[in-house]
Amino acid sequence: MSQINETHDPQLISWVESANQENNDFPIQNLPFAVFKRKDSNESFRAGVAIGDYIVDFAALVSHQVFSGDVARAIELANQENLNDFMSHGKDVWSQVRLALSRALRQGSDLSEKMKTCLVPQSEAVFKLPCVIGDYTDFYASIHHATSVGKLFRPDDPLLPNYKWVPIGYHGRSSSIDVSGQQFKRPKGQIKAPDAAAPVFSACKRMDYEMEVGIYIGSGNDLGESISLDNAEDHVFGMCLLNDWSARDIQAWEYQPLGPFLAKNFASTVSPWIITTEALAPFKTSWHRDEADPQPLAYLESETNRQSGAFDIQLEVLLETETMREKGDSANHLSVTSFKHSYWTVAQMVTHHTVNGCNFRSGDMIGSGTQSGPSHEEAGSLLELSFGGKESIALKNGETRTFLEDGDTVIMRGWCEKEGFKRIGFGEATATILPAS
């Protein structure tokens, strides 16, 4: 589990001036990882770390021999077209690189002149997935979301009996996960109206987003060996924003008895930056279970998880319609909530996933499931905000939505802030719906 250390000092200032600006997502206390190259170039994709409005180019760090010894070898591990190899080497290696970069980017660093030759403006970069995502599992970890959705379909019994006992999840599709900026066609599939005798084949009419947190596995575990609760976070490299798009009308017809299929596998969008668990250490908070609810079984219970198992990550969703883009209007805020409301912690999800001996591999991803807060305004999907499509949501330009239309762009943002520490951000995860083919 990551501890507070010198890299979190709120007094640290970088010689990269944009990193010191108020509310910049990427101060020196953050240093998230991504894979990038310059736009319209023949360069290879390679690793980089965000600092202010710039990216520290790992290829340049290697070619200019900025670091030496173990740090240089660790940076060479990351200087590839994906971060899997670097991620697999574990938290000591990740922390070593983070500390070296923090010291090199601080005001007054002896390495500042060398480092300046290794910066690329973020405005000149394009990104791809930061790692090869071998397997993807989506959980259902927000009790507020599960209850709200359950009430739409089972008003008298919204939560199924197992929900409060076991972290619910299903295996998703990794091949259709893409990085922010994704555009995808509206999916098609079987849809059955409640009063119809038979389904029809149609384009989705109830297109929705899901505001989630993506959790990247760093070091895996051997097949047959489980990961204990208090060691679980040591296997997590970091987190990102995740939009797990959902075709609600396709989902309603197909999900019984085996769960989501075509309603979920056509697109998922992640933000390009992985915010490391070490960077998130100051924003951990206590986790609790209502005394009236079943308490976790022994393998999902520990004092450490109770004291600091939750992450207070603010999660915001905005909508930009095609009309807004054409007129140059700003996007419309839809909701904001916090990941701290999750019914199950990151550690509990990791531990439960492996308790039967399932083996994680570096780069595997866990989705948290839609994150909704206790109030309606904190809902992480349109399904909840529109009460299942029964109430239109008024946008500030006069348009309305119950579900998403072609041309709509959904923008997700995330950040952490706490008194005594520097605010850090996740950047954005954006994607646009195109008409069905």
Give the span between the Cα atoms of 265 and 268, in whole angstroms: 8
Region 114-132 average pLDDT: 98
Which active-site residues does the annotation give? 145
Place domain 136-434 in its CATH homologous superfamily.
Fumarylacetoacetase-like, C-terminal domain (3.90.850.10)
User: Range with the lowest mean pLDDT among 180-194, 210-224, 250-264, 423-437?
Assistant: 250-264
Q: Is the pLDDT of residue 259 over 90?
A: no
Q: Which helix (H) or strand (E) holds 269?
A: strand 268-270
Q: What rounded mean pLDDT belongs to the chain?
A: 97
Give per-residue pLDDT as tens, 267-316.
Answer: 999 999 999 999 999 999 999 999 999 999 999 999 999 999 999 999 99
Q: Between 69-78 and 91-105, two packed helices, what is the crossing angle to 10 degrees?
A: 110
Amino acid at 63: S
Place domain 6-128 in its CATH homologous superfamily.
Fumarylacetoacetase, N-terminal domain (2.30.30.230)
Give per-residue pLDDT as tens, 42-61.
Answer: 999 999 999 999 999 999 99
pLDDT at 156: 83
> Is the model's pTM score more than 0.95?
yes
The fraction of the chain above a pLDDT of 70, given in percent, is 100
- Where do the structural domains in the chain lie, given as residue ranges? 6-128, 136-434
Give per-residue pLDDT as tens, 162-215.
Answer: 999 999 999 999 999 999 999 999 999 999 998 999 999 999 999 999 999 999
Q: Is the pLDDT of residue 1 over 80?
A: no
pLDDT at 152: 87
pLDDT at 176: 97
Contact 273, 30 (CB under 8 A): no
Contact 130, 61 (CB under 8 A): no
